[in-house]
Amino acid sequence: MWAAWKQLFLECVNKHAPLHVKRARASKSPWITPYLKIRMHDRDILKLKASRSKDANDWLQFKKFRNLVNNEIKKGKELYYKRALDENECNSRQTWRIINELTSRKTNNCWIKEIKSNGNSVYRSPELVDAFNSHFSSIGPKLASQTYSNNGP
């Protein structure tokens, strides 16, 4: 009886209160301060008021406030990145991370852990370096000989 009751209960719960997966996002705009959030909220309220009333003066007031808030956001972003670059002036790795973030350049760290060289698997760093070196130092003459033989003398 317990198993039957539990099954009915879980079916009811799944039907009327199903689980939803939510994804929590990291803050993509760290320069948005609580003050700017308030200003953005006020801007949104003005837009709602203007769209409901359809009054030209309300639209003018909204547009002026929107432009003001946009300029404040731009200044906040500029100040955020200036501070970040100043704080990491001596740390080139962090400086480049900030520059890549600013330019929306994605960095994918791809580390090669294994390659096949002459039929053998190479795992260790010095051997990987040697395998890459021998491959790239020998590929030029190989390509040149193939190109020469295909195109004739």
For the stretch 64-121, pLDDT in tens is 999 999 999 999 999 999 999 999 999 999 999 888 888 877 766 667 777 777 777 8
Q: Mark whether 91 and 121 lie in a shared domain.
A: no
Burial class (CB in 10 A: 0-12, 13-18, 19+), 111: exposed
Q: Mark whether 36 and 74 lie in a shared domain.
A: yes
Q: Mark whether 80 and 43 lie in a shared domain.
A: yes
Q: Mark whether 52 and 97 lie in a shared domain.
A: yes
Residue 37's CB is within 10 A of a number of other CB atoms, namely 10
CA pair distance 48, 40, nearest whole angstrom: 12
Q: Mark whether 101 and 139 lie in a shared domain.
A: no
User: What value does the mean pLDDT of the chain take?
Assistant: 86
**Domain contains 18:** no
Q: Which residue segment(s) compose the domain that 123 sits in?
A: 115-151
**Domain contains 134:** yes
The set of residues, in sequence order, having a beta carbon less than 8 Å from that of 29 and lying 6+ positions away, is 77
Question: Domain count of the chain?
Answer: 2
**Domain contains 50:** yes
**Domain contains 89:** yes
**Domain contains 71:** yes
Residue percentage of the chain with pLDDT more than 70: 92
pLDDT per residue as tens digits for the range 34-55: 999 999 999 999 999 999 999 9
Q: Mark whether 95 and 119 lie in a shared domain.
A: no
**Residue for token digits 């997966």?**
21
**Domain contains 91:** yes
**Domain contains 6:** no
Q: Mark whether 98 and 119 lie in a shared domain.
A: no
